[in-house]
């Protein structure tokens, strides 16, 4: 059991037969009345988000999420194929379970497949990936105001903002949680 007073980002628990993950939380202690916890919760199966308020003493059963390392093999239409690196079994997953989790992931990379009681509900990409810039405009000398950026397309087809000194052909590191440029490799 987990109490609402112990909520942190990423905590998963069961509520009304559904599995929710805490996206945001805020402990509120008003001048009058009892304290409460305001939360934004994501249903891990449907992907819907709700806002709910709890008393800090409310208790819910904690949900155990299995994270298994699997290799992303390829996509075929709306199906994405993953291979268990230990047993070599292949697992096809539909676009509805993947979402945009693979937008920074190349084929043959290791990802975490998330499941609850054997039901797969999502994919967790690595926190950082190294990708090659395939297309970007050259930065011009004199365009060096602090923090200036330009759009660039990486090898998975996603467009991100990069500093002016990054050129096509450069390898860059990207934070997959935020989709932001980190550094040149």
pLDDT digits 0-9 by tens, 46-97: 778 999 999 999 999 998 888 899 999 998 888 999 999 999 999 999 887 7
Q: 175 is written with which tokens? A: 């934070």
Matching residue, tokens 């989790």: 101
Tens digits of residue pLDDT in 108-167 = 999 999 888 888 888 889 999 999 999 998 876 665 656 788 899 999 999 999 988 889
The CATH class, in words, for 128-184 is: mainly beta
Q: 66-124 falls under which CATH superfamily?
A: Nucleic acid-binding proteins (2.40.50.140)
Question: d(Cα 20, Cα 101) in Å, to the nearest integer?
Answer: 18
Name the H helices within the chain.
Answer: 95-98
Please check whether the two domains, 66-124 and 128-184, share a CATH topology: yes
Quick one: which of 118, 126, 107, 131 has its CA closest to 183? 131
Q: Does domain 2-60 bear CATH number 2.30.30.30?
A: yes
- Whole-structure pTM value: 0.72
């Amino acid at each position: 059991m987990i109490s609402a007073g112990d909520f942190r980002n990423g905590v998963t628990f069961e509520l009304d037969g559904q599995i929710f993950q805490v996206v945001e939380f805020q402990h509120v202690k008003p001048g009058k009345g009892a304290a409460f916890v305001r939360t934004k919760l994501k249903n891990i199966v449907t992907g819907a988000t709700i806002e709910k308020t709890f008393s800090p003493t409310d208790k819910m059963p904690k949900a155990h999420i299995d994270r298994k390392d699997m290799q992303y093999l390829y996509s075929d239409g709306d199906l994405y194929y993953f291979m268990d690196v230990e047993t070599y079994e292949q697992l096809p997953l539909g676009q509805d379970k993947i979402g945009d989790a693979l937008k920074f992931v190349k084929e043959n990379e290791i990802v975490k497949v998330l499941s609850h009681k054997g039901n797969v509900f999502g994919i967790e990409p690595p926190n950082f990936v190294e990708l090659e810039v395939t297309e970007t405009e050259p930065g011009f000398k004199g365009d060096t105001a602090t923090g200036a950026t330009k759009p660039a397309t990486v090898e998975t087809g996603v467009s991100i903002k990069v500093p002016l000194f990054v050129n096509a052909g450069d390898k860059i590191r990207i934070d997959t949680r935020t989709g932001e440029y980190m550094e040149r490799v």
